[in-house]
Amino acid sequence: MDQLELMEGFQVDEEALEKGDAGSAFGCVARGGSKIYRYRTGEYRVYFTIEDEKIVIQRVLHANSLKDFLFRSGTGGTEDQKLAGSRKFWQLIEAGQKAPRK
């Protein structure tokens, strides 16, 4: 049930991804040509990519643990800018991409 509640409002359209402003639930973290999109819902952040017109969820992180990580990293800027510059965030995403799929 938690998963259903988490994804209840998850409606991805190109306009929402392009907009990605502070009032939007969507954001984008970019580094070296790679883009990871972010969707905010309640206490969680859903990180996903778009591959062959399909949405692939890379990670679902509890917002409080992410905020804690960002606070400890001591970097300035928006949430997306902080993540884009974080080596640990990209290592987490890459580990998820390499994990075996069931």
Question: Cα–Cα distance between 50 and 22 in angstroms, integer?
Answer: 21
Q: What is the pLDDT of residue 26?
A: 83
Architecture of domain 2-98: 2-Layer Sandwich (3.30)
Question: Cα–Cα distance between 27 and 20 in angstroms, integer?
Answer: 5
- Taking alpha carbons only, the member of 43, 28, 37, 79 closest to residue 57 is 37
Domain extents for the chain?
2-98
Q: What is the mean pLDDT of the chain?
A: 75
- Taking alpha carbons only, the member of 9, 10, 95 closest to residue 59 is 95
The band of 78, judged by pLDDT with boundaries at 50, 70 and 90, is low
Give the dihedral sign, CA 23/27/29/30.
negative
